[in-house]
Structure 1
Amino acid sequence: MDLQESRWKEYLKNLGWVLAIGSLIFTVVVGGFIVTNLDHLGRLARVVKLVESDYLEEVSVDTLIEGATKGIVDSLGDPYSSYMNAQENEELMQQIEGKFGGVGIILSLKDPQKLVVLRPIKNTPAAKAGLLPGDVIIKIDDVDATTIDQEKAVSLMRGNPGTNVTLVVYRESIKQNVTVPLTRENIAVPTVEGLALPGNSDIAYIGISQFSSHTALELNEVLRNMDISKYKGMILDLRYNHGGELESAVGVASYFVQPGPIVYIVDKGGNAVTKASEGNYLGIPFVVLVNEESASAAEIVSGAIKDRGTGTLVGTKTFGKGIVQTIYQLDRGTSVKLTTAKYLTPNKIDIHKKGIEPDVEVKLKDGEEATLSPTTKAFDTQLTEALKVLRQQMK
């Protein structure tokens, strides 16, 4: 035996010990999972092998892993949990930041089986092209939009500024399909609007359309620019607000509730984390407008206000989304969004699938549209009632 052969044998012996120790650690850490799920893992491995050996077309390993990962999350049956490929993950991050390339459409939550336009965002391609609330998107380029979910539809409509997308929508008012060619633009969505309520110079109107990562900062800037101290009352409009970022909701709620709990976040083990006011309470009379499309983070704010008794909720029962999603970044720019907790209002009420009842119930009339950020004194029924309630509080 020469010196080189001796060294190789020693190396292989040491490598064997390393692998043995590694195998032992692996068995201790995940052994329970493997023993419990050996049949399932064997089935998965067999399917992969069958695809590799017998399937007619060539399929990459990346495609199989992507499909398996998506399938695992889809099997949860949770509409709020999803696997996102690199493009979808990037688009979600852009949405959280409030900046993305797209056409400027907000979809309704009311019927998840349809892609119904809730409203086009002001000064975006969708608004300029004349898309209307209630339009039902039935085709996105060559894709049948009646067979896809909202996340997929949003992904298809977004893209690089300057690129084109064609929508076909069904418009109930004329009972016809309308083809709408659009050119994507950079969409920077302002989430907070503030103005003096037309005809009521002593009343501030604040409309919040969603909760992005910068909404609380936007609200602070709007209040400062308006010089909120000169107003005797405020109307906070959270109608058609589908929610967004948790911390942003806590930051906004801090302006409307006194120091103390805003929301409790409860994980699967029953462990609760208290999110409390940041101490920015304005202390002026106010009314909150809510409706059946006020959801998630919007319900955190309105739930805190109702339970803490600092304002009056006017409108209709909210959507009822009382669960929290966490985004986990994976490899190659992908991510998985999972429902990881539920939230409870300050009175520890679980509103999921129940919604929040307003203090004063008022419905819009048939065919009536909400006057969001009103420019005239022609207010909708809910806003009119909100003003009436606020005036009574201010006496």
Structure 2
Amino acid sequence: MQDRDWKAILKKVGISFGVISIIFTVTVGGFIVANLQHMGRLARVVQLVQGDYLEKASFGQLIDGATRGIVDSLGDPYSVYMDAQENAQLMEQIEGKFGGVGIILSLKDPKKLTVLRPIKNTPAAKAGLEPGDVIMKIDSQDATTIDQEKAVSLMRGDPGTKVTLVVYRDSAKKTLTVPLTREPISVPTVEGEALPGNSDLAYIDISQFSTNTANELASVLKNMDMSKYKGIVLDLRYNHGGELDAAVGVASYFVKPGPVVYIVDNQGRTVTKSAEGNFLGKPFVVLVNEESASASEIVSGAIKDEGTGTLVGVKTFGKGIVQTIFPLDSGTSVKLTTAKYLTPNKVDIHKKGIEPDVKAELKKGEEATISPTDRNYDSQLTQAVQILRSKIK
């Protein structure tokens, strides 16, 4: 009786396995048949290049090119394939330490390599590069035909090595050739001081979000002794973002415990990132502009939704998507857009930006006074101080 039971069970298992095998075969076979023409085309191109192309091309070179092409075909400027050198440079940027010339590029027009600002005390700043300079050539490479990722990789390099930039300066209507020697670039992402002329107001500028930014902010706040200040100006202008967890860590000082951002993937699954309970509890304003993007919008969006501070400036950039870096072989990687983020009120700001609570624009030709050294504030900072004063009277 038991033998018969086992035979019946095995028969059912065999039938089930057979059905699954058929389904698998049909599914995979259908995929192969549907894509056979494309795969054949790819194989044919590889064959032609290796057999008939005038120059030598390694198989690894072709695989790199094909991989890059697959990611580029997505049409997403934030999804990129990175070779070993580009991947290493990105890791250095995330850590905030690298060899280069010290240029931050503007996000406003991704097809144009415009200098947002040179980093203080770097080769670019010492050579006199200015915001608005457009990079036309990097050594012998035509910079008008490459993306920002490629441009950054060309400008980075070992300290002591040289690179020459050709830039167009619209304000002077002339082209400049600027030879530079790369140096170790260690970018402090947080600067804090008493606001010149307003000793009871703390001014904090966050230039980007690296892995250490939240720790830097904690250190700056401790060294400043925040008990001496009645209010805070948080400057996030020209901050292109960076590391997600760093943004959450920073937001923890400016919103009460609770959700800072919701991360939603392509299956609708949601991860909640919450403030850590470091809320300062002081009146503050946040300066934002059209170049405040990504992680800086996570901080700004949480503050606006929670109503703990006042956003002053103009509408932010509108990058509400999250990229994940997937390591590949031989030190390469692919960076893909894998999720979108929503503010605490479940607002999707991608391609929309965040409207400030109080609109304040720079005057024509006026430059922002980031980390001011005197009372000659720009129009946005002036208005931010006025609003903050009204809060602490």
Q: TM-score, normalised by structure 2?
A: 0.92
SS in 2 for 1:221: helix
Q: Distance in 1 between matches of 2:350 and 2:305?
A: 16
Residue 104 (structure 1) aligned with residue 102 (structure 2): yes
Match in the other structure for 1:281? 279
Q: 1:307 to 1:180 in 2, by over 3 A?
A: same
Match in the other structure for 1:160? 158
Counterpart of 2:43, as a letter, is A
Q: Distance in 1 between matches of 2:27 and 2:227?
A: 60
Match in the other structure for 2:175? 177
Q: Which moved more, 1:49-58 or 1:115-124?
A: 49-58
Q: Distance in 2 between matches of 1:142 and 1:57?
A: 21
Q: Distance in 2 between matches of 1:374 and 1:176?
A: 29
Q: Which runs of 5+ in 1 are unaligned?
A: 1-22
Q: Which moved more, 1:102-111 or 1:170-179?
A: 170-179
Equivalences for residues 1-395 of structure 1 within 5 A = 33-395=31-393
Following superposition, the deviation at residue 51 of structure 1 comes to 2.1
Q: 1:176 to 1:283 in 2, by over 3 A?
A: same
Following superposition, the deviation at residue 34 of structure 1 comes to 2.9
Identity %: 78
- What does the per-residue CA deviation read over 1:65-84, in whole Å, with 9 as the maximum and x for residues that have no partner? 00110000000000000000
Following superposition, the deviation at residue 228 of structure 1 comes to 1.1
Following superposition, the deviation at residue 32 of structure 1 comes to 5.9
Following superposition, the deviation at residue 180 of structure 1 comes to 0.7
Q: Distance in 1 between matches of 2:30 and 2:262?
A: 33
Following superposition, the deviation at residue 35 of structure 1 comes to 4.2
Following superposition, the deviation at residue 220 of structure 1 comes to 0.3
- What does the per-residue CA deviation read over 1:50-109, in whole Å, with 9 as the maximum and x for residues that have no partner? 222233332111011001100000000000000000000000000000000000000111
Q: Which moved more, 1:234-243 or 1:41-50?
A: 41-50
SS in 2 for 1:202: strand
Q: Distance in 2 between matches of 1:31 and 1:244?
A: 42
Q: Distance in 2 between matches of 1:32 and 1:156?
A: 44
Q: Distance in 2 between matches of 1:31 and 1:325?
A: 33
- What does the per-residue CA deviation read over 1:263-287, in whole Å, with 9 as the maximum and x for residues that have no partner? 0000001111100001111110000
Q: Distance in 1 between matches of 2:366 and 2:179?
A: 28
- What does the per-residue CA deviation read over 1:323-367, in whole Å, with 9 as the maximum and x for residues that have no partner? 000000100000000000000000000000000000000000000
Q: Which moved more, 1:246-255 or 1:169-178?
A: 169-178
Q: Distance in 2 between matches of 1:303 and 1:140?
A: 37
Q: 1:165 to 1:361 in 2, by over 3 A?
A: same
Q: Distance in 2 between matches of 1:344 and 1:168?
A: 40
Q: Distance in 2 between matches of 1:354 and 1:323?
A: 12
SS in 2 for 1:119: strand
Q: 1:27 to 1:225 in 2, by over 3 A?
A: farther
Match in the other structure for 1:12? none
Q: 1:344 to 1:378 in 2, by over 3 A?
A: same
Counterpart of 1:387, as a letter, is V
Q: Which moved more, 1:334-343 or 1:106-115?
A: 106-115
SS in 2 for 1:201: strand
Q: Which runs of 5+ in 2 are unaligned?
A: 1-20
Q: Distance in 2 between matches of 1:87 and 1:28?
A: 42
SS in 2 for 1:190: coil
- What does the per-residue CA deviation read over 1:148-196, in whole Å, with 9 as the maximum and x for residues that have no partner? 1111111110000000001111112221111111000000000000000
Following superposition, the deviation at residue 29 of structure 1 comes to 9.7
Following superposition, the deviation at residue 321 of structure 1 comes to 0.2
Q: Distance in 1 between matches of 2:122 and 2:195?
A: 25
| Aligned residues between the structures | 373
Q: Which moved more, 1:31-40 or 1:108-117?
A: 31-40
Following superposition, the deviation at residue 27 of structure 1 comes to 6.3
SS in 1 for 2:369: coil
Following superposition, the deviation at residue 229 of structure 1 comes to 1.9
Q: Distance in 2 between matches of 1:27 and 1:62?
A: 31
Q: Distance in 2 between matches of 1:228 and 1:29?
A: 63
Q: Distance in 2 between matches of 1:340 and 1:140?
A: 32
Counterpart of 1:307, as a letter, is D
Counterpart of 2:74, as a letter, is L
Q: Distance in 1 between matches of 2:48 and 2:190?
A: 54
Counterpart of 2:363, as a letter, is K
Following superposition, the deviation at residue 230 of structure 1 comes to 1.7
Following superposition, the deviation at residue 40 of structure 1 comes to 1.9
Q: Distance in 2 between matches of 1:46 and 1:130?
A: 51
